[in-house]
Structure 1
Amino acid sequence: MVIPNLGRSPRPVPVDAELRPEPGSFRDPANRVFHAGDDVLRALDETATAHWRALAGSTFFPPLVAAGKICGTEELPAGVAFPAPSAGSRLPAGSDRPAGSALPNWAAVLRHERIPFISHPYEWSFAMLRDAALLHLEILRAALSAGFTTKDGSAYNLQWRGTEPVFIDVGSFAPLRDGEPWAGYRQFCQTLLYPLMLGAHLGLAFQPWLRAQVDGISPEQMGPLFRGTRRLLPGVLTHVHLHGSVQRRNAATSTSDVRAQLRAAGYTRELAQATVRGMEKLVRRLDHQPPPTHWVDYQRTCGYSGDDRSGKERFVTAALSTADRRRLVLDLGANDGRYARLAARHADYVVAVEQDPAVLDRLYRTLRGEGERRVLPLVMDLADPSPGGGWRAVERASFAARASADTVLALALVHHLAIGRNVPLPEVVSCLVGFVAPGGRLVVEFVHPDDPMAARLLANKPDGIFPDYRRDAFESLLAAHGTVEDRLELPSGTRTLYRVARS
């Protein structure tokens, strides 16, 4: 059984590849995600297998996969054997499968399209989160019309192909039962709707809230923020206050009792669809344009001359085109995406990391308008990058655990970390090199202490606090981590670019 848009033709299963359980997949005992080489596999129990086969034969699912809105998926032939997970890849506590069990113990195995780079909702901009929410609701509405629902409503069920959101939790689909409410409603509110409300209604950044709690923002946390006239803001009365009071009222009521009450009240599939359409309308109304900052107009205010900019672009282009095409490039401190776009000409995929939410949101909206699917913009402070989160701090992998690139661009970044954030220069270099895969390249820019931008940062620091922030010290650190293959001093004389091969 093959579903369109897997992104590759059927091929042999890598039976000799090490089988590695996905640390973030254990909460649903009916299915579990594993990795085998470059393959993403989902093992299903008997009930989940029956649901999958009904789903694959439905009228709504294959078209959504073909359109790229759900990740490409195929069922592997029966009887394919896999090695047991390695001793170091123990399943999380609470899993119903022991660490030594192999995939044949499950009723069926699916193979999914691999997403180029896994990101988390607290790394997305406002517009990204809203587009993800709208795709989630679109898929749910289509499922309801065909007699299916989703068991989950989490933002973590979505990922990205560049600026195109894609739903990845195929195991979440299940046949719809009469009178059954959407089981994912609470998750949807806590990880998608409430964060959007914080931005649209209060102008607050939602990212710290989502990063702090893997389950998202609760109605109890939202309620105090929306009292008085704020209760009348779109969606607040229904999805915050009413939702919270219903939860408190039914705290001691079982799911089966709630389902029976809904059936008795005449709750139907049509009513569920109308509710989803109402939520779609609400989400489309929610908008937030982060206030502009100094960095929004960086290309005009950064102090580069035309000759500097031209020389820098030639150097970066040469560094990206010196070897085979890159699978992954990281652009750290991407700003308006100028060099991320350049990198996309030489790479399969580019992850553009920018600290400023306003800049990143503008970049996302621009890339989305261009239909760019090879550049993924992410909001992140590199002096405080995403840590591991969730169960045992591995359920949501840290940025450092996910980021291993063939080429890392760190342009006009070092001085912000070393001077602006007081990170010792050896730590900065070690961190940047750590993002480079073995055999990869670091393209890095050193802004000299006498450069206007560095001088501006130093003016806000005590005299003599950075005695080691020097070009010779920086070059020594680079040489300790790899081989400096090329360098260029820009015409201004206050900035130098380096191409470094990691040792």
Structure 2
Amino acid sequence: MSRLSSSYRDPSGFIFQEQGIIKRQINPIFFEEYEAAHEAGIYQALFEKGWLIPHKEELRNEEKIVLVPEQIEFITYPYEWSFTQYKHAAQLTLRLQMFLLDRGFSLKDASAFNITFHKGKAIFIDTLSIEQYKSNEPWRALQQFEQHFFSVLLLSQKYGAHHLKTLATQINGNNLKETAKLLSWKTKFHPVIYPNIHLMARGGSETPKDISKSKSPTLSKESQLKILKVLESHISSMSLSETTEWTEYYDQINYDQQSFEFKKKLVQWWSQELNAVKAIDLGGNDGTFARVLPKDLKQIIVSDIDQAAIDHCYTTELKLTQTSRIIPIVCDLMQPSPAIGFANEERDSFVKRVQDFKPDVSLALALIHHITLTGNVPFEMSAAFFASLSDYLIIEFPDREDSWVRYILDSKRDARHLFDDYGVSAFAKAYSIYYHIDKQELIPGTHRSLFLMRRK
């Protein structure tokens, strides 16, 4: 049994891995709460709604109860979500709390890490967060919700999508006093923002002496439901309008539709030949190429630096299918999500999670010139990185005559000569250190070639 480093905060139980299977242990201190929720049909009802990850009970004795949840092969973290993903995760948390209150239960915490995305939708994964409701007790997790969700969404809406990455550097969420300072003074008169941010920020100023003298606050269930419904409605109406150079990337490509369709077909054919089951599309933009991959591919991670592109990928999948095979994730490959938390082991890095996911093939389309010319990453280094992820690589190489490459080189001005070795020969030579080049084909009407490579 290998206990997961991320599972240490709750004494009620923990997550562990046994023979490659993720399992959850419930400790005796939580038996009563678990039984109450089980007997009330809470878990089954949430399974059926698709709000809670399903589990089956594997073992029960006086020392522990062991659950085997439905396996999720790739976990995304809050700082890797697009705005709409973050919003939907917040709404799920509130809807779950309202559902539980109606049935005499409550969430004991509201961490954004309790949510991930599975089969295209937000899902709650912390079974042991559900406990029995105590009459007239306010929701004690509301402050954590504001720190992890509402404050992040508000600051992202006002100042930009980079605030969506807050939990990468503040794992316990925003300081609400700092959040309040960053918001407009007008928000002090807002019926939702004032009580949930400004008033909540003032609540953390008591000393231990003050707390010992104060009476426990009370709030009826009906009042709590009204507050949560208003908060959920406000979050539902929030939006983020950001236009970036990648938002409409495929409307600005530098080759014609016939060449574009040829490229899609070639990616599809080569992937089909590999009998791949899992893939990752690095720099996958809005998921256009992920969607043409063979149906036998059951799971496809689509990562991109651009929040707006990933947001479009996510919302498009919601419209197209009930059960998506695409896992959208916002990630800058020049600085992918690091390992964070206690001992840097509480949340795994992006690279480690991809390696554990074990994709059969990686796609790197219209990416290498940005990594090499903008990021200054030598071919040998990018080859080593890609080779650490999967056995096969489908990579597109734009040569020096490509208009995007010329544009980037022209922007180098006096430093342009430092990239004189950028070319298909140098690229192939460097990548041959790590790969067998099985196929190479020029995309007609372009100065770009597709390569199918097999790791040595």
- Correspondence 1:109 to 2:66: yes
Render the CA deviation track for 1:289-338: whole Å, top value 9, x for unaligned: 22x22222221211122332232122211221113341x21111111211
- TM-score, with normalisation over the residues of structure 1? 0.85
- Measured after TM superposition, the shift of residue 253 of structure 1 is 5.0
Instruction: For structure 1, list consecutive stretches of 5 or more residues without a partner in the other structure.
Output: 1-18, 80-104
In structure 2, relative to structure 1, the CA distance for the partners of 1:470 and 1:234 (3 Å cut) is: farther
Q: Which stretch has the larger CA shift, 130-139 or 292-301?
A: 292-301
Letter of the structure 2 residue corresponding to residue 478 of structure 1:
Y
CA–CA separation in structure 2 for the residues paired with 1:227 and 1:493? 50
Aligned to 2:317: 367
Q: Which stretch has the larger CA shift, 402-411 or 49-58?
A: 49-58
Aligned to 2:217: 262
- Measured after TM superposition, the shift of residue 153 of structure 1 is 0.3
- Measured after TM superposition, the shift of residue 484 of structure 1 is 1.5
Letter of the structure 1 residue corresponding to residue 397 of structure 2:
F
In structure 2, relative to structure 1, the CA distance for the partners of 1:252 and 1:334 (3 Å cut) is: farther
**Correspondence 1:48-447 to 2 at 5 A:** 48-78=30-60, 106-233=63-190, 235-249=192-206, 252-254=209-211, 260-263=215-218, 267-290=219-242, 292-326=243-277, 328-343=278-293, 345-371=295-321, 372-404=323-355, 405-436=359-390, 440-447=391-398
- Measured after TM superposition, the shift of residue 413 of structure 1 is 0.3
Q: Say if 2:362 and 2:393, in contact at 8 Å, map to a contact too.
A: yes
Render the CA deviation track for 1:114-134: whole Å, top value 9, x for unaligned: 113101111101110111111
> Which of 423, 426, 435 lines up with 1:482 in the alignment?
435
CA–CA separation in structure 2 for the residues paired with 1:395 and 1:106? 26
Q: Say if 1:302 and 1:453, in contact at 8 Å, map to a contact too.
A: no
- Correspondence 1:472 to 2:425: yes
Instruction: For structure 2, list consecutive stretches of 5 or more residues without a partner in the other structure.
Output: none
CA–CA separation in structure 1 for the residues paired with 2:347 and 2:57? 26
Letter of the structure 2 residue corresponding to residue 350 of structure 1:
I
- Measured after TM superposition, the shift of residue 60 of structure 1 is 3.5
- The number of equivalent residue pairs is 450
CA–CA separation in structure 1 for the residues paired with 2:165 and 2:127? 28
Letter of the structure 1 residue corresponding to residue 226 of structure 2:
A
Render the CA deviation track for 1:249-282: whole Å, top value 9, x for unaligned: 365555x876x5324xxx2222222222222122
Q: C-alpha root-mean-square deviation of aligned residues, in Å?
A: 2.0
Q: Say if 2:259 and 2:446, in contact at 8 Å, map to a contact too.
A: no
Q: Say if 2:112 and 2:149, in contact at 8 Å, map to a contact too.
A: yes
CA–CA separation in structure 1 for the residues paired with 2:130 and 2:294? 35
In structure 2, relative to structure 1, the CA distance for the partners of 1:250 and 1:244 (3 Å cut) is: farther
Letter of the structure 1 residue corresponding to residue 343 of structure 2:
R
Q: Say if 1:226 and 1:236, in contact at 8 Å, map to a contact too.
A: no
- Measured after TM superposition, the shift of residue 204 of structure 1 is 5.0
Aligned to 1:27: 9
More helix by share: 2
- Measured after TM superposition, the shift of residue 485 of structure 1 is 1.5
> Which of 385, 401, 414 lines up with 1:450 in the alignment?
401
